[in-house]
Chain A
Amino acid sequence: VTAKHVLVVDDAPSVTGVLQFVLEAEGYEASIAENGLAALEAVARRRPDLILLDLGVPGLDGYGVCARLQERPETATIPIMLLTGTLAATGSPRLSGYPIKDFVLKPFSPRDLVERIRRVLEAG
């Protein structure tokens, strides 16, 4: 069985490092992008099964990444889980219409996060 591929988009190495560790420990394949443009390049190279996206990444931010993914049919349906520091983002109209499957509030529990990722991937 091919491992599910999760793309983690966050600019904090201390966060992406631990996420990569815990995802790989749970049998997922994890790759990292530290900004929005790098995320789009990573998606173009290989379509992930899920994108774990921090809204506040530098350069092209999370909103911009969502918008750019929508522009191409092959990327428009990739499930996205958003990492955010504020609940206010969950109601943002700027995110309507995108395949946002879950919001994860920072700071989060890695176990809880992995469980939520598992649910999203199983549902998808």
Chain B
Amino acid sequence: MPTSSHEAARRAARVAARLAGRAELIHAVLDAAAHLARASLAGLWLDDGAGGAVSVGWSEADCSQVRALERAARAAAGRQLQRTEDGLALAGAPLQGLPGGLAVASPADDGPFEPREVALLAALGEQAGAALEDVGGAAPLWTNTDAFEAPAEAGWPDGIADGLLWLDEDGRVRRANRAALELLGRPVDGPRAAGQPLAALAGELPAGVLAALTAAPPAAVSACRLAVAAGAGARPRALTLVALPREPGRLVLVSDAAARSSVRGFEALVVSNAAHELRTPLTAIRAHAELIPDLLGVGPEETVGRFFQVIDLESQRMGGLLDSLRDALRAEGPSLVLHRPTLPEASS
């Protein structure tokens, strides 16, 4: 008989499958969260409304950090969050309209997140929640651009290590933070960059980048890389271009591709979590099964019966976990991989 935990796992699997269809969106949300808040990792937790949950971690961090992030995202479901845990500084924000939360983390040694970083995360949580709510259609990632229309001095994030550019529909800079310009090899002030074409900041743009910048209608999310001349060599930069449906132009997130940690896909995370979750019942089954022969005929019958019962329950639990994994993999096609669309890598 299925247990409540089995049902919760099945519900979570269904939500996971549904979200898999929004893979690019989830990637963009987490990528943007990590960029906006100088985070080393970002995560999202979404309740399915009936006790099940889906969480997505985004990092090279070990399991304990991902779990801390998941707890933070969960705790942030109904409110903003700012705390430290297990050597991590955590910040979280609710998802608007959804029973879920978005959280970011960085080493606690770096200090707590600044209020403006938390405010930016909250804005992202609102936008992401509104976008994720419409998982059945072609929802835009950004449902409003309020966060990017604030005056520069009121919150345009100059204090973070990754770059943010807001380009108009002609590819000209409307706003840029300092990190974006430095990463593009043009350490000038943001106001001086305004109105300049991206090409003037980044040098001759590869065809792939130009195509992504000028695509009409803009893709919801696209990603590309370009090499920026710096010193003796060219340094790779990763660009993530995000459409702004209610505004002309695009938001561009710029990061140091060499330094930035690689992304763990959703599929890898699902498999990793499944392996972790399966080890506990497997351990219990193996241990009890190994001891039963020693007890048969000599040990208390009650103990032997209890051992068989544990094996039975744990095997059911394993079956439930495997069913959930199978459901998730079947429901949305052959793979749960979070696909990150890429354009051909090119050098300037």
Contact = CB atoms under 8 A, between A and B. Distances in A.
B192 interface: no
Contacts of B282: 106-107
Given A18-B291, A63-B86, A64-B86, A107 B64 contact: no
A111 B67 CA distance: 31
B246 interface: no
B283 A63 contact: no
Nearest to A12: B280
B284 interface: yes
Nearest to A36: B86
Given A14-B313, A18-B310, A108 B283 contact: yes
Interface in B229-266: none
A85 B62 contact: no
B276 A56 contact: yes
A105 to B, nearest CB: 9
Nearest to B288: A18
B283 A106 contact: yes
Contacts of B197: none
Interface string A57-71: 010111110000000
Give the dominant DSSP class at B's interface.
helix
A55 B280 CA distance: 13
A92 interface: yes
- Most chain A CB within a 10 A radius of its CB, from B276, B283, B307: B283
Given A56-B63, A61-B67, A18 B276 contact: no
- Most chain A CB within a 10 A radius of its CB, from B86, B281, B303, B313: B86
Interface in B122-152: none
Contacts of A61: 64, 67, 86
A17 interface: yes
Interface residues of A, number: 27
A44 interface: no
A31 to B, nearest CB: 18
A109 B307 CA distance: 15
B314 A110 contact: no
A15 interface: yes
A80 interface: no
B279 interface: yes
Interface in B282-323: 282-288, 290-291, 303, 307, 310, 313-314
Contacts of B290: 109-111
A85 B275 contact: yes
Interface string A40-65: 00000000000000011010111110
A106 B280 contact: yes
Nearest to A109: B290
Nearest to B307: A18
B171 to A, nearest CB: 44
Contacts of B87: 64
A12 B86 contact: no
Interface in A73-120: 85, 88-89, 92, 94, 106-111
A90 B188 CA distance: 47
A53 to B, nearest CB: 13
A22 B288 CA distance: 10
B30 to A, nearest CB: 23
Contacts of A109: 286-287, 290
12 contacts: A12-B280, A14-B280, A14-B281, A18-B288, A18-B291, A19-B287, A56-B63, A58-B67, A62-B64, A63-B86, A64-B87, A88-B62
Interface of B: 62-64, 67, 86-87, 275-276, 279-288, 290-291, 303, 307, 310, 313-314
The 9 residue pairs across chains A and B that have the minimum distance between CB atoms: A14-B284, A107-B283, A61-B64, A18-B287, A106-B279, A107-B282, A107-B286, A85-B279, A12-B280
Given A14-B310, A58-B67, A109-B290, 4 more contacts: A15-B283, A85-B276, A106-B279, A107-B286
Interface of A: 12, 14-15, 17-19, 21-22, 55-56, 58, 60-64, 85, 88-89, 92, 94, 106-111
